[in-house]
Structure 1
Amino acid sequence: MQRRQILKGAVGLGLVSGWSAKANAAASLAVASGGAVPASARALPLSSVRLLPSVYADALQANQAYLLRLSADRFLHNYHRFAGLPAKGAIYGGWEADTIAGEGLGHYLSALSLMYAQTGNAALKPRIDYIVAELARVQQAQGDGYVAGFMRKRKDGQVVDGKEIFPEIMRGEIRSAGFDLNGCWVPLYNWHKVFAGLFDAQTYTGNEQALQVALGLAGYIDKVFAALNDEQVQQVLACEHGGINESFAELYARTQDKRWLALAQRLYHTKVLTPLAQGRDELANLHSNTQIPKLIGLARLHELTGRQSDADAVNFFWRRVTQHHSYVIGGNGDREYFSAPDSIAAHITEQTCEACCSYNMLKMTRHLYSWAPDAAYFDYYERTHLNHILAHQNPRTGMFTYMTPLMSGVAREFSSEENDFWCCVVSGMESHAKHGDSIYWENGDTLFVNLYIPSSVEWKAAAVRLELNTGYPYAGDIDIKVRRLAGQRYYTLALRIPAWASKYTVRVNGKPHTASKDKGYVLIRRRWKAGDTVRLSLPLDLRLEAAAGNDHVVALLRGPMVLAADLGAADKPFSGLAPALVGANILSAFAESDKGKAVYRSVGTGRPGDMKFTPFFAQYERRAAVYFNTYSEAEWAASEVAFRKEEARLKDLAERSVDIMHLGEMQPERDHDLQSDISYPVSYRGRNGRDARTGGFFSFHMKCTSGPLMLQASYWGEERNRDFYISIDGERIAHVKLDGSNPGVFIDQQYAVPERLTSGKSSVVVRFDPEPGHTAGPVFGVQLFIQTAAEASRISS
């Protein structure tokens, strides 16, 4: 992607919903005369594409089997219950049993609809129609258009129907801490998924009842917002709301009722969207997946209204995220949040790359590409689709990850069949139902081939059937054959040349072919006939790519595919150091072990030893290393000296230790009699910990001894806006404020323990309490140790 820059304001006239004949004619004339890429494009219908055997088809089949194992009635449980109708199935576990319940149904409806279009499997259609009919029945029982499954947790802890929050909101009683709205977990985000499912049912299966259900729900939501002034709307939008603006933009597109367009434009989250429209990257410390759907909504609004500021915001956001906030596999976010621009090297952890973020970034990429086709968009799309989306499903089980960890030695954690339903599980059901939706695009008599996934396609505009066969990305040859075409006709085949492909060859019917090139495509225009063939050959050379923020942290790629060191089976522990690469010319020291499977070995450069490298996405049940610190021999020797020095410091501390509390770990917390409320275990950068949210606490017993002691607590140095107290046996010994002033490292803070608190005791209770409106921690371990004279002197001074 470094080879090209997408122009900020490059917005074509064509919209996703269609093109005029005049625009098509102009585009065709341009191709005929000058070999130019048309000004806009649209994806061929998903129902026109069928996948042929490949890793993508394997993922699709595993997902289809899972969709058919799931129960619509269990997803509908709360919808029925809150409408006063008998529930037909027990509620699922995990998130579906929490206050976000109901989100899964929207995604499930979308996934079934997409899978039906992708495969034509007749067994899917009755489920889709059944869900829509049941939602219509729920809506009728509610009597006011309302339909939802989410719940509300009252202040007394009782969990009730989420509908209870809306009269409060309409009275101006609005409370949110970012992810809850008046005690309900992201209700507007939830509804965005329900709308999407209804729209997909209409689009891909022709179910018109789905639109009527959407209209009824929209009417209820419109009444809620009609009661609010603009300031109150912004208060509501401070809670994660998904792409609810997109929902109403799409409803306007389908009905042409300007009521919905007005509401879509009113649901504009000023705090986040205005800086982006003005070209300011203020993304650091924002929750990634909260923001991306808002921009997708702006993209849809731009397509419907032509408002340039919306397009500017989307273009700017996409460029900043893909070029300054993304990892080598295309994903973004650490612990779900953006970090500072170009700081990826400092954020290689076990909580990188939330799958929902990539799911949504690929949606956004499709919008931008349709406005102004350029291969650079699909360089990003391919990288993310191959290395992240494929990595986030285990095709053996059909289960999904939440994060895709890039920290060395960390295994992927996959969902269970019935007791997780994280957002990335339910978006995963969609991602792996539509692997054919972005391969082929068209404008007039130009067919773009953007992804080299084995497939067949019916291109109705040219009355032609094509077939794409390839071993890509394991092999570099891509073969396209005209399987059916009545007679002969002119059209242009536009093949994407990835930015990393410095050399390539094109053959038509076995002979070398010279074609014009524009915006990263070779444009083959000729009179085609049935039986014609094209072969595109791409070089799959190895290359190193540095992580943003540190040129000495690198990843290995082969063509579009990220390769990773295999560190062993996921069910076996990994306790070694993160491997490194040492040498003057690291890239030249890789040896090919199995070309067909893209297997390589480092030769003499691996530390602590040489390693086998295989495709990262396929290491579903392995521990991997993706990023490597690189050193010269002298630098490696110096790093070992520093490591040994730190080992000595920790050994000294261990010898003086009275007790250690490993927070976030089940057995240590039991052994220390942990007590807590509104407190959650966390894991970050290989370390377990625990936090306490506003109104909560956590406490535990620790052994002690008489004499001067120190209490040491460990924090991640980038935590900010944390304000809390530490007490021992009820007496506060520290007021802690964390302001993010120690980026990239864990910090140990030490607090003197007054001798009177431990004198004559064998144990004490240590407690962490947040200030109202703040969080305590997370705390990554607590240690009580004997104070040295030097430490006592430092404290007294």
Structure 2
Amino acid sequence: MSRTSSSPPTPVGSVDPVGSVGPVRLGPDARAVLRPAAVGLDAGFWLTRREVNARTSIPQGPELLESAGNLHNLRLAAGAAEGEFRGAYPFVDTDVYKWLEAAAWQLAQGNDGDLEAHVDRIIGLVAGAQQPDGYLNTWFQLVKGGEQYQDLRWGHELYCAGHLIQAAVAHHRVTGRPELLDVARKFADQVDSVFGLPDSGKPIDGIDGHPEVETALVELYRETGERRYLDLAAYFVDRHGHGLLGGEAYCQDHVPVREATNVEGHAVRQLYLLAAAADLATETGDAELRTASERLWHAMTTTKTHLTGGLGAHHEEEDFGDPYELPNERAYCETCAAIASVQWSWRMALLTGEARYSDLIERTLYNGFLAGVSLDGERWLYVNPLQVRDGHTDPGGDQSARRTRWFRCACCPPNVMRLLASLEHYLASSDDGGLQIHQYVSGRYTAAEGIAIRCETDYPWHGSIAFTVEETPADRPWTLSLRVPRWCRDVRVRCGEESYDGPVEDGWLRIERTWAPGDRVVLELALEPRLTAADPRVDAVRGCVAIERGPLVYCLEQIDHPGGGLDDMVVDTTRPLAVKHRPDLLGGVTTVVAAGRRRDIPDPGWWPYGPADSSPRQGGEPVELTAIPYYAWANREDGSMRVWLPTS
């Protein structure tokens, strides 16, 4: 049963110690099929990316937050400094909170005195800036004379509160210390005293123009046992779509979640709201919210998701387009939207137990998400297009197709930091029947049922994934469930020296037996490179193919094709694709080599149009096309890039 409101916060590790310290900790009455399990990474692809995050990205956070003015604003609000508010937006506090969350998850990886000192110092700034009633937003405290909740559409006060709560929950789960959690609870209590239905006696019936507080409040309920936080989250989710902010899709006010049939509006706002809907369905058993979540996820993935897992078709409002409106050079695919997609899909995977959600997580992590940070961890992409044309004129700023040190709206960099720092909590799950492996990394997977296995793999470069049982109950069988990615055309399994030919059902290959320490299972996923075509209703890429290998989407970059740009390149689909391992390139990657031509197109003169040619040109200079993983583009020099390649 849920704890009463008078119960103290749960000490770290006192409930479900294996999976409890991650971003999603299910409540005691959760209706989820699966619960998070712990993974300790010790080698391989994702360990390298996390080491860069720990060594470079997170440590540079305090300096960047100082130079951008975020920390200065907190000092001003606390009366500890003089000057003017710095920043262009009323939600700059969230950059601080997302960095604090990233730093908290990083502290879980081991002692780091410098990082811990920065965390303690910045928590002190946050606490000092909080008003006596619990309210905290430096923009409104300093620029707007202390007014509260007068601009819910653009002010983002609750959005800021949500990120503060998530940072506080992370810090408390990792350290057991209450300082930041006390600040967050005080703010949440103030919000709870202000917002409610008209008959509740509370002064404001309203929602924030940027959903985020909803899923944060669910997690605060999970951390503290305070049911009113869960109820407040439900209130906010259900009040979206009732015209409280004018009825616009942009701020998720056009249709209630329960009635929606497609994802619309600002992509990040939509996905954060749907993550909260999945959380509520998990904690309350609300069947209508679960059905809506499943319906909307299906609509998104079948009609509005780019090959990279990227989401968002339009620059102007950072929003979804129409079904099958998936442009290339004008794709928005905000890095934050990729992160929100992972968060929502993980909640859906736990709620339903279905592998398809983790299929999308894999695609998004390796492509649409990871492209958002440079290989050195110092530069970022806010938008992630699938093509940069020859002669591209870059607008600069937040919509640049060139990597940037920081942004005026710096939502993406600390968001990337917090996902990478907590990544081990999105890789595996357990249930009463055993352990489920959602993502393949080298390391130790542990479940609360006394189960531990070690995984050794060079995935995604090689498809061999070896598991060794290290701990297991001696008196009962359990099931090891391995996700077989939808892209995989050939899968083989060995248990010890014997082949295993069990069926793949709904994306899972399940092996049930009474295990013993030392038992081995080897999963072989064929990683042959492949050409992918889009649904013919995607006009932007009709007559084109993309190169994929395993979970990786590939692209061409101009630097690998001297002698001209990429706009005239054509791939020859009749010739086989070849694989080349390049330890010298981009930190060590596997490239895919294809045959192609540089089209021989005559000068159009003054008018680039003419009669249709029923026999497309096949001539032109033969050229070898070298494709690199999409996540690694824009790490050498500026130039053109493309994922989708014309075939004629």
What is the TM-score of this pair, normalised by structure 1? 0.64
Provide the rounded CA distance (Å) in 1 between the counterparts of 2:95 and 2:126.
14
Deviations 1:501-530 (A, max 9, x none): 222111122331233543211111222222
- 1:187 and 1:241 in contact (8 A); partners too: no
Alpha-carbon distance in structure 1 between the residues aligned to 2:117 and 2:223? 24
Partner of 2:522: 535
**Amino acid paired to 2:405:** S
Letter of the 1:305 partner, please give it: T
Residue 437 of structure 1 and its aligned partner are, at CA, apart by 1.8
| Residues 51, 57 of structure 1: 8 Å contact kept | yes
1:71 and 2:62 are equivalent in the alignment: yes
Structure 2 CA distance, aligned partners of 1:16 and 1:257?
14
**Of 555, 559, 564, which residue of structure 2 is paired with 1:564?**
555
CA deviation after TM superposition for structure 1 residue 454, in Å: 1.8
Q: Provide the residue aligned with 2:261 in structure 1.
A: 280
Residues of 2 paired with 1:133 and 1:383: CA distance? 39
1:492-503 mapped onto 2 (5 Å cutoff): 492-503=479-490
Aligned residue runs from structure 1 range 682-701, under 5 A: none
Partner residue of 1:367 out of 344, 347, 370 = 347
Q: CA deviation at 1:228?
A: 7.2
Alpha-carbon offset, residue 579 of structure 1: 4.0
How far apart, in 2, do the equivalents of 1:102 and 1:356 lie?
Answer: 16
Verify: 1:511 aligned to 2:498, yes or no: yes
Deviations 1:689-745 (A, max 9, x none): xxxxxxxxxxxxxxxxxxxxxxxxxxxxxxxxxxxxxxxxxxxxxxxxxxxxxxxxx
Contact 2:461–2:590 under 8 Å retained in 1: yes
Q: Which residue of 2 aligns with 1:108?
A: 99
Deviation readout 1:84-108 (Å, 9 max, x if unpaired): 2348xx9998xx5643321111101
Q: State whether residues 415 and 421 of structure 1, in contact with CA within 8 Å, keep that contact through their aligned partners in structure 2.
A: no
The C-alpha deviation readout for 1:569-596, integer Å capped at 9, x for no partner, is 79x9x9845244355xx16443344498
The CA deviation at 1:460 is 4.0
1:325 positional shift: 0.6
Of the two, which has the highest radius of gyration? 1
Shift of 1:311: 1.8
CA distance in 2, matches of 1:389, 1:362: 9
Deviations 1:538-596 (A, max 9, x none): 111232222341442321111211111232179x9x9845244355xx16443344498
Structure 2 distance, partners of 1:308, 1:475, is 41
> Could you tell me whether the CA contact under 8 Å between 2:566 and 2:642 is conserved in 1?
no
Per-residue CA distance 1:353-405 (angstroms, 9 max, x = gap): 10000101100011111111122111111011011222111121433211112
- Alpha-carbon spacing, 1:575–1:343, altered in 2? closer, same or farther (3 Å): farther
Contact 2:332 2:385 in 1 (8 A): yes
Indicate whether 1:291 and 2:279 are aligned: no
* Aligned equivalent of 1:482: 469
Pick aligned residue for 2:283 from 298, 304, 315: 304
**Counterpart residue number, 1:396:** 376
Structure 1 unaligned segments of length 5 or more: list them. 1-14, 24-38, 153-159, 632-797
Displacement after TM superposition at 1:61 (Å): 1.5
Is there any run of 5+ residues in structure 2 with no aligned partner, and where? 1-23, 243-251, 393-399, 584-588, 601-621
Distance 1:275 1:102, change over 3 A: closer
Q: Distance in 1 between matches of 2:228 and 2:102?
A: 29
One-letter code aligned to 2:33:
S
Matched with 2:404 is: 415
Q: What amino acid maps onto 1:79 in structure 2?
A: L
CA contact under 8 A between 1:40 and 1:373: conserved in structure 2?
yes
State the partner residue of 1:625.
Answer: 642
Which residue identity does 1:50 align to in structure 2?
G
Deviation at 1:341, TM superposition (A): 0.6
Contact 1:59-1:398 within 8 A present in 2 as well: no
Distance 2:301 2:387 in 1: 20
Q: Identify if the C-alpha distance between structure 1 residues 488 and 252 changes in structure 2 by more than 3 Å, giving closer, same or farther.
A: closer
1:221 counterpart = 2:191: yes
Distance, in Å, in 2 between the alignment partners of 1:424 and 1:558 is: 27
Q: Which has the higher strand share?
A: 1
Task: Flag the 1:121–1:311 CA change in 2: closer, same or farther, 3 A.
Answer: farther
The one-letter amino acid of 2:645's match is F
Verify the 8 A CA contact 2:569 2:596 in the aligned structure 1. Answer: no
Instruction: Tell me, yes or no, if the aligned pair for 1:391 and 1:617 is still in contact at 8 Å.
Output: yes
2:147 aligns with 165
Residue deviations 1:240-298, cap 9 Å, x none?
A: 32322223333334444444344323322125474542252262xx2111221111122
Quote how far apart the aligned CAs of 1:618 are: 2.0
Q: TM-score, normalised by structure 2?
A: 0.78
Residue 601 (1) aligns with residue 618 (2): no
Query: Which position in structure 1 is the counterpart of 2:50?
Result: 60
Partner of 1:473: 460
Matches of 1:498 and 1:598 in 2, distance apart?
19
Tell me, in whole angstroms, the C-alpha distance in 2 between the residues paired with 1:366 and 1:332.
16
SS in 1 for 2:289: helix
What one-letter code is carried by the residue in structure 1 that aligns with 2:487?
Answer: W
Match of 2:132 in 1: 143
1:40 and 2:33 correspond:
yes
Question: Residue in 2 aligned with 1:263?
Answer: 232
Paired residues of 2:558 and 2:641 also in contact (CA < 8 A): yes
Letter of the 1:43 partner, please give it.
Answer: P
Shift of 1:535: 0.8
**For the residues of structure 1 that align with 2:73 and 2:172, how far apart are their CA atoms?**
23
Does the Cα contact within 8 Å between 2:428 and 2:436 map onto a contact in 1? Answer: yes
Checking the alignment, whether the CA contact within 8 Å between 1:132 and 1:198 is kept in structure 2 is: no
Partner of 2:604: none
SS of aligned partner of 1:603 = strand
| Cα separation, 2, equivalents of 1:163 and 1:532 | 66
Paired with 2:177 and 2:60, the residues of 1 have a C-alpha distance of 23
Q: Deviations over 1:739-775 (max 9, x none)?
A: xxxxxxxxxxxxxxxxxxxxxxxxxxxxxxxxxxxxx
When the two chains are superposed, the root-mean-square deviation of aligned CA atoms in Å is: 3.4
Does the 8 A contact of 1:16 with 1:367 survive in 2? no
Residue 83 of structure 1: aligned partner: 78
Aligned pair partner of 1:203 in 146, 154, 173: 173
**Residue 240 (structure 2) pairs with residue 252 (structure 1):** no
Contact 1:582 1:607 in 2 (8 A): no
Q: Report the equivalent of 2:21.
A: none
Cα distance between partner residues in 2 of 1:215 and 1:321: 34
- Structure 2 match to 1:771: none
Give secondary structure in 2 for the equivalent of 1:341.
Answer: coil
The match for 2:26 among 14, 17, 30 is 17
Q: CA deviation at 1:110?
A: 0.9
2:357 to 359, 371, 377: 377
The 1:279/1:241 distance shift into structure 2, 3 A limit, reads: closer
Residues 522 and 534 of structure 1, relative CA distance in 2, 3 Å threshold? same
Q: Contact (CA 8 Å) 2:333, 2:385: kept in 1 or not?
A: yes
Q: 1:393 and 1:17 mapped to 2: Cα distance?
A: 30
Structure 1 residues 396 and 577 mapped into 2: Cα distance closer, same or farther (>3 Å)? closer
Amino acid at match of 1:627: W
User: Which secondary structure state, in structure 1, belongs to the residue aligned with residue 449 of structure 2?
Assistant: helix
CA distance in 2, matches of 1:144, 1:356: 31
